[in-house]
Amino acid sequence: MRYRAIKTTSWLLTLALVMSCGGGSSGDAESSLGCGGTTSSTGATVQSWVTSADKSKLLARQPDLIFAGCAIASSHIDVNQDTHYQTMVGFGAAITDATAWVIQNKMSNVQRSALLDDLFGRTTGIGLSFIRLTIGASDFSLSHYSLDDMAAGQTDYPLTNFSIVPMRTAVLPTIQAALVVNPNISVMASPWSAPAWMKSSDSLVTGSLLPQAYDAYARYLVKFADAMQAEGIPLYALTAQNEPNFEPADYPGMLLDSTARATLVGQHLGPLLAQRATPLRLLDWDHNWDNPTSPQAVLDDATARPYVDGVAWHCYAGGVGTQTAVHDAYPDKETYFTECSGGDWASVWSDNLLWNTRTLVIGATRNWAKGVLLWNLALDENHGPHLGGCSNCRGVVTINSVTGVVTRNEEYYALAHASKFVRPGAQHIASSSGSNGLDSVAFRNADDGSLVLIVANAHAVTSNFTVRQGGLTFPASLPAGAVATYVWTP
């Protein structure tokens, strides 16, 4: 897989702040809502949390703000809950073999429990609710394996040797413990490679899926889904192959072009999944923004299309707007963002916070993603364990392999500004964004009707702005490079 390189941008704009009534909306979502000409307080309060570029505030609760009748600055954000888009599954990251191994082997019971409560707890934690598993090994595994390995030259088309034993030591206990903390977690899964005997290379590393193995591979994936359900881990979604256009040289991977995927899905995997009593979404692509023609080709296939529920995207090439282009071409298909990793190549904490928030939490969601996933949930201080692949990737959290102490990285705070406040089932609603360096995304929680607005300030100076919703406004101020979440009930 290829990894994101962040280009540091110097934001050299200066805001001239002019307080006025009845200012028009700027942005891409709503027209002006008006102001009404009064400045009296309505008594409604807005809770807010901020993470600053200098780390002096880390998801820090701020004094409540007050809705008033009119206090429009030259910078403002309109929120309109009457215009709504996709329903959210949630935000999270992957529990890879490496993540699970570090959590299970490098932490005390007390440390492990505290971390899982923090990551998945809704009341005291950040409420992650979307998790990705690997089907067999990835580069973040201690060994290269599949769930049906055979000696060289041997095959197992009946899948009599299939076993999830490699997952029992670390992965299953970790995801099961997370589900105890948060039963509302949605779990998706992706294979990095079919078993070696199904491939042209007879190896987990390199190669493509043999046509005569399509049926066995489809049954292999369904068998995995059934095994997870038997362990109390019902899958929400499945992809047929991680990064099918990339053939890594030193860790499991498999080429599976659009023609092969359409055949696999339309004639084998799709019909098998349709027979399951428990519904399971099938997502295509699971790869970068730069090649939309590949998932489009699968969706163009009349046999495969009925079985494909959506398209999954990664961040390592191309731009997030590709998600909307494909969504617009196939509006009945869902969109998910399923992988992005930070690492030592991007070493500026403040830049990483802003990039992850603007591009993934805000950008992917504004481009129709129902869920947003980062790559490794946890790694050790040596960027592992890993076998091949990325040698300097960063987990959402870092666990010291000697002390078990947890460092919460910039990706943690970017996710937390959404996951702690946006609950599964929330609707993405309209908000203006991109005005004077302020990017935003807004949601309406289904359970209590509360509204959540996430704002990132890419401006080089503090931005003073107002938020308008339902004809009323509240004033806000956000330092350069900072991220904020605002929550209120209309």
* Whether residue 6 has pLDDT greater than 50: no
In this structure, the answer to whether residues 100 and 203 fall within a common structural domain is yes
Reduced to 3 states (helix: H, G, I; strand: E, B; else coil), residue 378 is strand
Among candidate residues 93, 391, 94, the one with its CA nearest the CA of residue 250? 391
**Least confident among 43-47, 261-265, 387-391:** 43-47
Q: To 10 degrees, the CA torsion angle through 166, 170, 171, 172?
A: 90
Please determine, for residue 24, whether its predicted confidence score (pLDDT) is greater than 60: no
User: Mind giving me the DSSP string for 45-61?
Assistant: EEEEEEE-TTSSSSSEE
Tens digit of each residue's pLDDT (9 = 90 or more) over 350-359:
999 999 999 9
Same-domain pairing of 404 and 443: no
Tell me the CATH number at 451: 2.60.40.1180
Q: What pLDDT does 418 receive?
A: 98
Segment 92-115, tens digit of pLDDT: 999 999 999 999 999 999 999 999
> Rounded CA gap, 175 and 180, in Å?
9
Q: How far is CA 80 from CA 86, 462, 469, in A?
A: 14, 25, 6
71 with 180, same domain: the answer is no
Domain contains 61: yes
Q: Say yes or no: 196 and 233 in one domain.
A: yes
Write down the pLDDT at residue 475: 94
Average pLDDT, the chain: 91
**30 is a domain residue:** no
Q: What is the DSSP letter of 153?
A: T
Tens of pLDDT, residues 52-94: 999 999 999 999 999 987 656 678 899 999 999 999 999 999 9
pLDDT band at 484 (very low <50, low <70, confident <90, very high): very high
Same domain, 483 and 407: no
Mean per-residue pLDDT, 44-58? 97
Q: Which domain holds residue 441?
A: 41-85+428-488
d(CA 137, CA 191): 8
Q: Are residues 140 and 202 in the same domain?
A: yes
Position 246 in a domain: yes
Give the C-alpha separation, 239 to 351, whole Å: 31
Question: Which residue matches tokens 């997370």?
Answer: 178
Q: How confident is the model at residue 20 (pLDDT cuts 50, 70, 90)?
A: very low
Q: Domain check: are 59 and 164 in the same one?
A: no
What pLDDT shows up at residue 72?
62
**Which two three-digit tokens encode residue 470?**
């339902």
What pLDDT, on the 0 to 100 scale, is given for residue 44?
83
- Reported as type and span, the H/E element at residue 101 is helix 97-105
| Whole-angstrom distance, CA of residue 240 vs CA of residue 312 | 11
Q: Which pair of structure tokens corresponds to residue 384?
A: 């592992």
**Res. 214: pLDDT tops 70:** yes
- Secondary element (H or E) of residue 464: strand 463-469
Burial class (CB in 10 A: 0-12, 13-18, 19+), 96: buried
Q: What is the pLDDT of residue 75?
A: 85
Q: Is residue 175 part of a domain?
A: yes
Please report the beta strands in 96-228, taking only residues with DSSP state E, as ranges in sequence order: 130-135, 186-191
> Percentage of the chain surpassing pLDDT 70?
90
**Domain final residue pick, 381, 408, 424:** 424
Return the closest-CA partner of residue 302 out of 257, 267, 256, 255.
Answer: 267
pLDDT given at position 42: 57
What torsion, rounded to 10 degrees, do the Cα atoms 263, 269, 271, 272 define? 160
Shared domain for 215 and 246, answered yes or no, is: yes
Tokens of 50: 């901020």
Q: Are residues 395 and 460 in the same domain?
A: no
- The residue ranking higher by pLDDT, 11 or 369, is 369
Tokens of 86: 């996709």
Give the per-residue pLDDT at 252.
98
pLDDT tens digit sequence for 272-320 = 999 999 999 999 999 999 999 999 999 999 999 999 999 999 999 999 9
pLDDT of residue 326: 98
Contact in structure between 416 and 121 (CB atoms under 8 Å): no
Which domain CATH number covers 211? 3.20.20.80
Cα 477 to Cα 467: distance, rounded to the nearest angstrom:
11
Instruction: Please report whether residue 15 resides in a domain.
Output: no
List phi, psi (to 5°) of 363. Answer: -65, -50
pLDDT tens per residue across span 234-257 = 999 999 999 999 999 999 999 999
Same-domain pairing of 68 and 199: no
With respect to residue 179, please indicate whether it lies within any of the assigned structural domains.
yes
The C-alpha atoms of residue 284 and residue 304 are separated, in whole angstroms, by: 10
C-alpha–C-alpha distance, residues 141 and 222, integer Å? 22
Looking at the structure of the chain, the number of domains it has is 2
Structure tokens at 126: 């950040």
Active site residues: 243, 339
Residue 302 lies in a domain: yes
pLDDT, greater one: 30 or 362: 362
**Which contiguous run of DSSP H or E holds residue 229?**
helix 214-230
Does residue 12 lie in a domain region? Answer: no
Q: What value does the mean pLDDT take over residues 385-403?
A: 98
Residues 311 and 252 in one domain: yes
Which of 368, 398, 424 finishes a domain?
Answer: 424
- Do 440 and 296 lie in one domain? The reply is no
d(CA 416, CA 91): 8
430-475, pLDDT tens digit by residue? Answer: 999 876 789 999 999 999 999 999 999 999 999 999 999 998 999 9
Of 402, 424, 446, the last residue of a domain is 424
Angle, CA 284 vertex, CA 225 and CA 84 arms, to 5°: 100
